Chain A
C-alpha cells in the first residue's frame, strides 16, 4: 500500500457527485464539506498538488472514522479505504503531533495489540471495578480533566468476569466437516472471552475441528487503520506464519477479519511475503460468512428473544457481510430480529476512534443507542467487540441498559439449548 504512484489515479476516480455525503458519520454530525469523504479527497488532492499537511488538513483526516460507508455508497468505485490508509501513513510519518496526543497514541498502540499487556491490566481493572472506584472517577470527572482519551478508555471498559483459557484444539462433534483455524484477537480475547469460547463451541458443534494456535498475536488491524504501516506489516507477517497450516481461518471480530482480508494489499510490495499474504487473505472468513457457506447441521434450540442486529462497519462495508448474520439469526426458532434505523451509519467505535476522538464518538454512540433503543429489542447483537463496548456504554449513559451478545453467543445458546436466560439480563 506504499504504492504512492497509484495516488493520482485513485484520487481521479472521484467525480465529486456527493453520493457519499449522507452515509458519512462526520458529515451527518457537522454538515461540513471538509468532514465528508468528498471533501477529504479534495484535501488529499490539494496535498498531492503541493499544499503542505497543515494542521486543519490533518484534523479532518483524523476525524474520519474509516468506517467505509462511503465505499459502499460510491457509484464511481472510489477506493477511499486505500486513500485514507495511504494518507494516514503519510500523516504518521510527516506530521508532528503535540506531546499529549503523541503519548496517548503511543499508549494505545503499545497496549491494545498485545494480549499479555491487556491481560496484565485485567486484574487491576477488575479490582478497580469491584471497589466501585469507576463510579467515583466518573462522578468527579477527574480523568476527563487529565485526558479525554483516558476517560473514554475508562468508560468503555466492559465489566470483567473470569477469562477461561481455550485449549489449542477443540474436536468436532459428530461427523467431521472441516478443520478451521481460529483467531482469538486482542480485545475480543481479553475483554470478551465468552465470545471466543462460544465461537469455538459453535464451530465444533457444526462439525469443525478448531485449531487455536497459542502463538498467535495481534492481526495488525488497529495499526493498519491508523496508518502505522510498518507495525501493521510486522503483525501481518506473524499472523500469516501462524495460520499457514490451516485451510480456513475463522475470525469473529469484524475489524480483524477485514484487516486480514487486506493482507495481500498490505504486503504486496514485499516479494517474499506477497504470495503467502494473498493466500492467507483468500482463506480468511468471518464467522457468519463461514457458517453460512458451511450450511447449518446442528439442531437449533428455540430462543424466544427479540434482538436488534447491528451492522459493524468492518463487516458490512469492508467485507460486504450483511445477509449472513441475519440468516443465522433467522434460523433460530422463536427468535425475532429487528432492524436498527440508519444501519449504514457507524456507531462511533471505529477501532481507536472512540479513544482519540471521544466527543464525536460519543455523539455517534448516542445516535446509535437511540436507534437501537427504538427497536424495542431486549438484546443487541453485534460482531465486533469495539461496537459492543461502544453501544453498551452509550446506552448506559442514556439510562437504558440492554443486554449485548455476539452472533456466536446467540448461536451457542441456541445450539446448546440454554434458553433466553443465558442471553438477556447478562450485563456484558
Chain B
C-alpha cells in the first residue's frame, strides 16, 4: 500500500470502529468486483460506515488526502459502476440498512442506502403498498445502488424507473458536506441530475422513496411461441391495441433452457420464445384487457397459454425470468450480460441481425428482454478456459451495441455505463456532448475523486478547456491504476 493510502487508512481507523476498516489484502480482494466479473481491481481500503456522518467524514478525509473513492451497495451492478480503485477507498453501505420510516399516509418511505430493494416492499406490503422498481436482483440489490444506476426492472414499462420513485436524497457531496436534494425544490432539478449519475456526483446516505398502492388485481400469462418473431408480433399487437401492461418480457429458447435447468420453471417444452405478460389495475379494466391480450397472443401464433391462477403460480412464471441471468451459468462456463435499447418496432430486424452475428462468430447468444420498451439483454456465452473466447464474446457484445445505436437506440437501458461501456459513449455522443456532461460533473466534483474512471471514456480534470485536447493527458502515467 502506498504511503498516502496507508496514512489515510489509519486516519479512517481513528474515525471509525476497528471492525469498519478493512486493510487485510485477502479480505480486500473479496471486494474486487461487483456483479460484472470481467473488470477487477482490489480496493486500497474498504470502509463499512453505519451512518451518514461517518460517510461524510470518510469523504472529507479522502478529499483532504486527494484519494479517490467509490461507493458500493450490495455489489450486484452489471456495468462495473462500483469497480473499486486500487489507489482509493471503497465505501460499502451494506451496514446502512435501516428502514427509517414507512409513512403510509404520504405514500413514502425513508431508507438508508444499503437497504435491500425487496425489503422496502416487504415493509410496505402489510399497509397495501410496495416499492415499484423491481430489478431482477431485487432480492439483494440496494436502494442506494438503484439510485446510482437509475435501475429499472420488468415493471418499468408501466411504472417507470427508480428516478420516478425517488422523492429526495440526502447526499454527501464530494467536499464532504451533507445536503438534501428534493424533487419538490424549485430551481434546477438537482435530484434529477443525481439519480442515475452512477455515483460520480456524491454518495447518497438517505433516500425518500415513493410507495405505490398495490393494484387491486394482477393477472399474469405465459404464452409460448414457435419463434421470437411470432413473440415480437404479439408484443407489437398488444402495445398497438393501446394496452399498457405492467410488464411484457420475452425469453428465447436458449435462455429458457438455462432457466429450466436452474429453477425448473416448467415453461412449455419446444418453445422458441415465451412471452410473460402481466396486467394490473382495477379489476374490470384488467379483465377486459386480459381477454384481448390472450386473443392477440393466439392471433400471433401462441401454441400454449398459461394463466397464473394464484400468487404461487405467478411467482413460478416469474422465477424463470428473474433467475435467467444467473441461470445461464448452468449452460455456459462464462457469459457477458449486455444491455441495449432499440425501438420496439425494430425488434425483429435486430434479433435477426444478432442471430446472424452469432452464426458468423460461432458465439452463442441467449436473449432475454423487456420487450415492451425494447430493452434487450443479450447474454453472450463463452468458455473462459478457451484462449481468445472472451475477446470474441466481447466483440459480439460490442457489435450488438452498434446494432442498437444503428437502429436509433441506446447502449444501456438500465444497467448503466460504468466502466464497462465508457468506451462506447463516443459512439452515441459527440465530443461536445461529452464535454457538456463533464462540465456538469465538475460542478459537483471539481477534484475528480468521486468514482473516477466511470461513465466517461477519457478521464479529465475540471480545469481543462472543453474541446480538442493537446499535449500529454494530466492522468498520463497513472493509466495502470485503472
Q: Which residues of A are in contact with B by a Cβ distance under 8 Å?
A: 12-19, 21-22, 30-34, 39, 42-43, 46, 51, 54, 56-57, 60, 74-78
A33 to B48, CA, bound (A): 11
Binds A, one of B30-38, B268-276, B401-409, B453-461: B30-38
- Is B326 within 8 A of A15, CB to CB? yes
Contacts of A56 in B (CB 8 A): 24, 26-27
- Is A46 within 8 A of B29, CB to CB? yes
**Which of B22, B263, B329 interacts with A15 by CB under 8 Å?**
B329
- Is A31 within 8 A of B95, CB to CB? yes
- Is B330 within 8 A of A18, CB to CB? no
A75 to B262, CA, bound (A): 6
Q: Is B204 an interface residue (CB 8 A)?
A: no
A42 to B37, CA, bound (A): 11
Contacts of A33 in B (CB 8 A): 30-31, 75, 92, 94
B414 → A minimal CB distance (Å): 16
Count of chain B residues near A, Cβ 8 A? 40
B75 → A minimal CB distance (Å): 6
**Which of B24, B140, B334 interacts with A18 by CB under 8 Å?**
B140
Q: Is B365 an interface residue (CB 8 A)?
A: no
Contacts of B32 in A (CB 8 A): 42
29 CB contacts below 8 A, A to B, read A12-B333, A15-B335, A17-B137, A17-B325, A17-B326, A18-B76, A18-B140, A19-B139, A19-B326, A21-B74, A21-B140, A31-B48, A31-B94, A32-B48, A32-B94, A33-B31, A34-B26, A43-B30, A46-B29, A51-B26, A56-B24, A56-B26, A75-B262, A75-B327, A76-B262, A76-B326, A77-B261, A77-B329, A78-B329
A206 to B22, CA, bound (A): 58
A12 to B325, CA, bound (A): 15
Q: Looking across the interface, which residue of chain B has its beta carbon closest to that of A341? A: B122
B267 → A minimal CB distance (Å): 15
A380 to B47, CA, bound (A): 40
- Is A22 within 8 A of B139, CB to CB? yes
B386 → A minimal CB distance (Å): 13
Q: Looking across the interface, which residue of chain A has its beta carbon closest to that of B122? A: A341
Contacts of B263 in A (CB 8 A): 75
Q: Is B158 an interface residue (CB 8 A)?
A: no
Q: Is B97 an interface residue (CB 8 A)?
A: yes
Q: Is B449 an interface residue (CB 8 A)?
A: no
A18 to B330, CA, bound (A): 16
Given contacts A15-B326, A18-B137, A30-B95, 9 further A-B contacts (CB under 8 A): A12-B333, A12-B384, A17-B325, A17-B326, A31-B95, A31-B97, A32-B94, A34-B27, A77-B330
* Those 6 A-B pairs whose CB atoms lie nearest each other, nearest first: A76-B329, A75-B323, A75-B326, A31-B94, A17-B326, A39-B30
Question: Which label, helix, strand, loop or mixed, suits the secondary structure of the B interface?
Answer: loop
Contacts of A31 in B (CB 8 A): 48, 92, 94-95, 97, 114
Q: Is B148 an interface residue (CB 8 A)?
A: no
Contacts of B335 in A (CB 8 A): 15
A42 to B330, CA, bound (A): 19
Q: Which one of A33, A57, A60, A77 has the greatest number of beta carbons of chain B within 10 Å?
A: A33
Contacts of A75 in B (CB 8 A): 262-263, 323, 325-327, 329
Q: Looking across the interface, which residue of chain A has its beta carbon closest to that of B322? A: A75
Q: Looking across the interface, which residue of chain B has its beta carbon closest to that of A52? A: B26
Q: Is B447 an interface residue (CB 8 A)?
A: no
A33 to B95, CA, bound (A): 11
Contacts of B24 in A (CB 8 A): 56
* Contact A16/B26 with A31-B97, A75-B262, A75-B326 known, Cβ cut-off 8 Å: no
A12 to B333, CA, bound (A): 7
A57 to B29, CA, bound (A): 11
Contacts of B166 in A (CB 8 A): none
- Is B329 within 8 A of A19, CB to CB? no
Q: Is B116 an interface residue (CB 8 A)?
A: yes
Q: Looking across the interface, which residue of chain A has its beta carbon closest to that of B90? A: A33
- Is A19 within 8 A of B26, CB to CB? no
- Is A76 within 8 A of B330, CB to CB? yes
Contacts of B31 in A (CB 8 A): 33
- Is B26 within 8 A of A76, CB to CB? no
* Contact A16/B27 with A21-B140, A33-B75 known, Cβ cut-off 8 Å: no
**Which of A14, A19, A43, A54 interacts with B140 by CB under 8 Å?**
A19
- Is A42 within 8 A of B327, CB to CB? no
Q: Which one of A17, A34, A43 has the greatest number of beta carbons of chain B within 10 Å?
A: A17
Contacts of B329 in A (CB 8 A): 13-15, 75-78
B 316-348 contacts with A by CB, 8 A? 323, 325-330, 333-335
- Is A22 within 8 A of B326, CB to CB? no
Q: Looking across the interface, which residue of chain A has its beta carbon closest to that of B77? A: A18
B260 → A minimal CB distance (Å): 12
